[in-house]
Structure 1
Amino acid sequence: MAELTIGEKDFLLDGEPYQIISGALHYFRVHPDHWADRIHKARLMGLNTIETYVPWNAHSPSRGEFLTGGGLDLARFLRLVAAEGMHAIVRPGPYICAEWSNGGLPPWLLRIPGIGLRRWEPQYVEAVTEYLEAVYRIVAPLQIDRGGPVFLVQIENEYGAYGSDKEYLAELVRVTREAGITVPLTTIDQPQPQMLEDGRLDGLHMTGSFGSRSTERFKTLREFQPTGPLMCMEFWDGWFDSWGFHHHTTTVQDSDTALDEILSVGGSVNFYMFHGGTNFGMTNGANDKGAYVPLATSYDYDAPLDEAGNPTAKYHAFRATIAKYAKVPDEVPAEAEAAPAFEVALQERAGLLGLAGELGGPRAAEHAATFEELGQDTGFVLYETSLEGRGPGVLVVGEEVRDRAWVFVDGDPVGVLARDAHERSIRLPRAGATLTILVEDQGRVNYGERLGEAKGLIGGIRLGGEELTGWTATALDVDLLPSLDLAGHPVDNGPLVLTGEFELSEAADLFLDTSAWGKGLVWVNGFNLGRYWRKGPTQTLYVPGPVTKAGRNRVVVLELETMTSTTASFVDGLRLGQTEF
């Protein structure tokens, strides 16, 4: 058994000064069969600790359940950290940001009338208590004083950037302690005076988040916390990517200089990220600071380990700098090898609109129901109503399209309404019998005032100034597509489902080049790789080796717009896009 305590200037591990050199590794963004490999490579870079968030919405897609199977087996992940001889920091939120859908808050929260997020509001606190108690039933037995790896737990997350409700923070502490968490508790905020003041609470050790000007940031932090160890809990060694922008990078030299400043004064550090991984499925978040910007599928983050788990120039530079202050293992991880490159012909198998009845059941309502009213947490909803021969005319969504809508009249495409372009009106060129609108949730906002907003067609829909009523809405479970028998379904003028097969001599990491495609999703052997979009910057979808197998493999593509080629091209490595405009 061991103990970590907060000393006058240092963390103390069994009474001796201990410099935490940690790296963020989100178990939910990495295939579980790769966890051990990524943790081992962290130790080889000189890290002694692994940090992870816990995503409430992934573990609890509905209230009263807490999933822990497969890629959500937090206990197994922490035991693998311990097996590597490393410590662990757990940050359960409940809000995590993390560029993760809804900042980790489950959408079912939004369906509770009158709920108040991230503050002392009885309904929210009750739900958060249920969640934290479930997390701590896993974490408490794995604390360092019980022979496990966990030696720090964080309360909330950058709370000073959102609110200042001390009663709420104190309640989170009470729940945490009563659930058996005995290790030191921390907060994190950007080193700005107001954020530090609003996010602090007596008894919690303050840490900072920054990626440059380390000496200055620590000075600000010290003004609010005169004693105790200095720690950058999020050392931003890269940045995330958003659709339609460039691939973000930071120079090795600038990041390494900032790291050296932290370590040279005895500061502790947690690399955010050590290994970013992937927003598999439809788990990506979004930002909206006046313009809606969804996050890309790749969460490479320009981190020391790239999206596929291979060491980068940063890895080797950081390893050399860490070696100035701590012992680093002699072993060095192998460099990336080229992945198999080949092409697979895809066949158009069915139209998505014609498959709607097999992906969900229609629900009738006077107005177009929101995703929340339908219990649809993410993905797609198909809306239909009768035009009764009306048109042509201008179709207007009253308030906002959230987030992308494909419009059809009698099955023929009319156009797209895109939230990121602030579009909410389109001209219907002719009269018709049926209006169909397919809406995609492109990612729930994970930061700021728009956290927790509804999805769908918001504010009513009018044609030629008259409101359209009598809608049906079908929540589509597109993850059923790989299991459907597509034979006999027509190919229409809407989104298409395509399939193909390929042979492998053995399981292997693959990289699917999507640059010739429009917008959509891909499954390999039923595993949802995530979204692709011609806007870039990312041009590849990462296929984890454990998803593939020796012998025959199947790829399923949902193309929402237009392909220039119906070939699936697998290339030899990541294509993350241009680094500047």
Structure 2
Amino acid sequence: MAERQGLRAERASHFTLQGAPFRILGGSIHYFRVPRAYWRDRLLKMRACGINTLSTYVPWNLHEPEKGLFNFKDNLDLEAFISLAWELELWVILRPGPYICAEVDLGGLPSWLLRDKDMTLRTTYPGFTSAVNSYFDKLIPRIAPLQFSNGGPIIAVQVENEYGSYSKDVEYMKYMKQAFLSRGITELLLTSDNREGLQCGGVDGVLRTINLQKISYGALQSLADIQPERPLLVMEYWSGWFDVWGDSHHIFPAEDMVAVVTKLLERGASINLYMFHGGTSFGFMTGAVDFGTYKPQISSYDYDAPLSECGDYTSKYHLLRNLLKSYNSDPLPEPPTLQSRQAYEAVLISQHMSLWDSLTYAEKPVKTEAPISMENLSVHNGNGQSYGYTLYETTIQSGGSLNSRNNVRDRALVFVDRTFIGVFDYRTQRVTLPAGKNARTLSLLVENCGRVNYGEALNAQQKGLVGDIILNNTPLKGFAVYCLDMMPSFLKGVHGGKWKSMTESPACPGFFKGILLVDGEPRDTFIKLPEWMKGVVFVNGHSLGRYWYIGPQKHLYLPAPWLKKGINQIIVFEEQKAAGRINFAENPEYGKVIDVSKHPFCTII
């Protein structure tokens, strides 16, 4: 039998696959950001656009949410996703990290790593490499059989991600390369870096690739100069950009995007569009950026990509398809029909439960003298808490000046005897408590708004209270700490608990329940909460993500596969101001827009 010749990068002009010239026309879709029922639809749309190669990240924090507890089922069935791509005649470039960035919490690294006080992420620190080894021992045996050499679609595997922009350990990338080779990865290995990281982000024997959005002077040439005998691959061609709360919705004009793609292809480069379809950062998946100011990212990962958040064709899609026709030897398949959508009738809130009443269904509180971070809470089999909210309660004997000393990560509602007093965040670090002579309960409801996913701050991403809270120059002591992670076990208790009717005065923070009746086959829709302030929405147990009145996102995507005929339960956790109804719309609302090419980070290359 003739040897299967996988992807090769041995010529300066082009890749080869099975010995024949091959150009990567790639696009990124993250399986974990798309409901599994829609995987086929999104991949078919990708193939119909002229894309021949799928790339996807693998999020360690989702696959090993607790140390030693692995999940490769349902929406995290990576093998099924790759196999489906193969069935639909798409090659695959796998990007398994362990660090992926991807605008997910801690760049895809599990937060339980941060319980080690000496942890230095993305280095050869033994505590980190030991955890990586354990994870790779579970992950790589699942993907190795799907390599091209074994008859599968995986033609390349990325080693780490954008390490040149971090570069804390000269031995780390050597370790990472060996971690793949020693576990049976035989396909082409590559690295991916911004222009300024090309020199120090690579490793010997591994193809270097570049990330960019606009063709600035010398960008591709810098890559060609580093490896003159290798083909050019833009591993991340940024088709749009992500959004953060309180900012505008970033767009990149379709004509500008296609003009750059055209130039890259004319230059002979291969390309991977990041993103081809962004999808949604459901639940508490979102990360944050911090280039001097902490900014959490929104739930939508629409990214202004060729396929919209809900899978619609955009002008980018049609222009791109028209361009890529000439780079495909066979006629392109017809694009699939779009899913229908519906603006359901508004749902009236029928019941509510205050946060304080819900504590009955939380884990038994942890008693601690000084504040501790959520990662160090002794719950969930000793792994601590990763996401959601944490409630800290202590007793105070007076009013006065309460100072967070910037030890709140990331936002806290302050209560005295369950009466709302104010908010702590990165900008507001002082709150005045009312005077009182008797002992009272001080409560701090702290939200992890998303760990930084890129940059120098990765090792400092503990959440909750990470240091002392000061009342009148004295550190507070004696806390009871509740884990309110909004995970299924907690929500199950809340759902089956004692709710009050809306005829009784509803209290915030609290949970608010309504019923959506679906007559006939469910359809995609968007939830809108114009009179609410900030919180999280759950539909039939699925977390749609966060909403926040500051925008830019003014909707939450609700995919039809998460609905059913008849009764659908909607639960809203609202922090500060609830309304009496939940609205629906056929289309999303992303708020005020700004051209992404004006974003300073996008112009550094």
Name the TM-score class by shorter chain.
over 0.9
Instruction: Please report the TM-score for the alignment, with normalisation by the length of structure 1.
Output: 0.96
The one-letter amino acid of 2:374's match is F
Question: Is the aligned partner of 1:385 residue 2:389?
Answer: no
Output the CA distance in 2 between the equivalents of 1:335 and 1:314.
16
Which residue of 2 is the match for residue 89 of structure 1? Answer: 93
Output the CA distance in 2 between the equivalents of 1:326 and 1:191.
29
How far off is 1:338 after superposition?
A: 4.1
Which residue of 1 is the match for residue 262 of structure 2? Answer: 260
How far off is 1:65 after superposition?
A: 2.6
Equivalent positions of 1:505-520 (< 5 A) are 505-520=520-535
Which residue of 2 is the match for residue 124 of structure 1? Answer: 128
Output the CA distance in 1 between the equivalents of 2:114 and 2:466.
15
Q: Which of 555, 572, 579 is equivalent to 2:586?
A: 572
Which residue of 1 is the match for residue 418 of structure 2? Answer: 411
Which residue of 1 is the match for residue 491 of structure 2? Answer: 481
Of 355-364 and 438-447, the range deviating more from structure 2: 355-364
Which residue of 2 is the match for residue 538 of structure 1? Answer: 553
Output the CA distance in 2 between the equivalents of 1:430 and 1:333.
65
Question: Is the aligned partner of 1:359 residue 2:342?
Answer: no
Which residue of 2 is the match for residue 557 of structure 1? Answer: 572
Change (3 A) 1:164 1:261: farther
Q: CA RMSD in A?
A: 1.6
3-state DSSP of counterpart to 1:478: coil
How far off is 1:335 after superposition?
A: 4.9
Change (3 A) 1:142 1:430: same
3-state DSSP of counterpart to 1:515: coil
3-state DSSP of counterpart to 1:202: coil
Equivalent positions of 1:69-148 (< 5 A) are 69-148=73-152
1:260-316: CA deviations, max 9, x gaps? 011112211110000001010011000111111000000000000000011111000
Contact 1:22 1:50 in 2 (8 A): yes
Output the CA distance in 2 between the equivalents of 1:24 and 1:129.
26
Contact 2:251 2:594 in 1 (8 A): no
3-state DSSP of counterpart to 1:323: helix
What is the percent sequence identity of the aligned residues? 39
Contact 1:518 1:562 in 2 (8 A): yes
Structure 2: 5+ residue stretches without partners = 378-383, 596-605
How far off is 1:451 after superposition?
A: 1.0
The one-letter amino acid of 2:112's match is W
3-state DSSP of counterpart to 1:342: coil
Contact 1:382 1:476 in 2 (8 A): yes
How far off is 1:492 after superposition?
A: 6.0
Of 238-247 and 567-576, the range deviating more from structure 2: 567-576
Which residue of 1 is the match for residue 375 of structure 2? Answer: 372
Structure 1: 5+ residue stretches without partners = none
Output the CA distance in 2 between the equivalents of 1:174 and 1:98.
24
Output the CA distance in 1 between the equivalents of 2:190 and 2:273.
16
Contact 1:214 1:261 in 2 (8 A): no
1:65-124: CA deviations, max 9, x gaps? 321011110000000000001100110111100100000111111112422211121221
Equivalent positions of 1:227-376 (< 5 A) are 227-327=229-329, 328-335=331-338, 337-374=340-377, 375-376=384-385
How far off is 1:360 after superposition?
A: 2.0
How far off is 1:544 after superposition?
A: 1.2
Output the CA distance in 2 between the equivalents of 1:221 and 1:580.
30
Question: Is the aligned partner of 1:494 residue 2:508?
Answer: yes
Output the CA distance in 2 between the equivalents of 1:424 and 1:261.
50
The one-letter amino acid of 2:220's match is F
How far off is 1:385 after superposition?
A: 0.6
Contact 1:342 1:571 in 2 (8 A): no
Contact 1:352 1:495 in 2 (8 A): yes
1:489-530: CA deviations, max 9, x gaps? 686643021111121111221110123210000111111111
Contact 1:78 1:149 in 2 (8 A): yes
1:464-499: CA deviations, max 9, x gaps? 112211111111132333552243568664302111
Question: Is the aligned partner of 1:443 residue 2:443?
Answer: no
Output the CA distance in 2 between the equivalents of 1:359 and 1:425.
29
The one-letter amino acid of 1:511's match is F
Of 282-291 and 113-122, the range deviating more from structure 2: 113-122
Of 267-276 and 502-511, the range deviating more from structure 2: 502-511
Contact 1:311 1:333 in 2 (8 A): no
How far off is 1:568 after superposition?
A: 0.7
Equivalent positions of 1:391-430 (< 5 A) are 391=399, 393-419=400-426, 422-430=427-435
The alignment of Structure 1 onto Structure 2 pairs a total of residues equal to 574
Change (3 A) 1:399 1:332: closer
The one-letter amino acid of 1:499's match is K
Which residue of 2 is the match for residue 22 of structure 1? Answer: 26
The one-letter amino acid of 1:332's match is P
Output the CA distance in 2 between the equivalents of 1:318 and 1:541.
27
How far off is 1:336 after superposition?
A: 6.2
Output the CA distance in 1 between the equivalents of 2:162 and 2:447.
29
3-state DSSP of counterpart to 1:472: strand
Output the CA distance in 2 between the equivalents of 1:224 and 1:427.
58
3-state DSSP of counterpart to 1:151: strand
3-state DSSP of counterpart to 2:195: coil
Change (3 A) 1:491 1:448: farther
Change (3 A) 1:520 1:512: same
Of 208-217 and 438-447, the range deviating more from structure 2: 208-217
How far off is 1:353 after superposition?
A: 2.0
1:123-142: CA deviations, max 9, x gaps? 21111122223221111000
Contact 2:537 2:543 in 1 (8 A): yes
Which residue of 2 is the match for residue 466 of structure 1? Answer: 474
Which residue of 2 is the match for residue 205 of structure 1? Answer: 207
How far off is 1:348 after superposition?
A: 4.0
Output the CA distance in 1 between the equivalents of 2:233 and 2:176.
22
The one-letter amino acid of 2:429's match is R
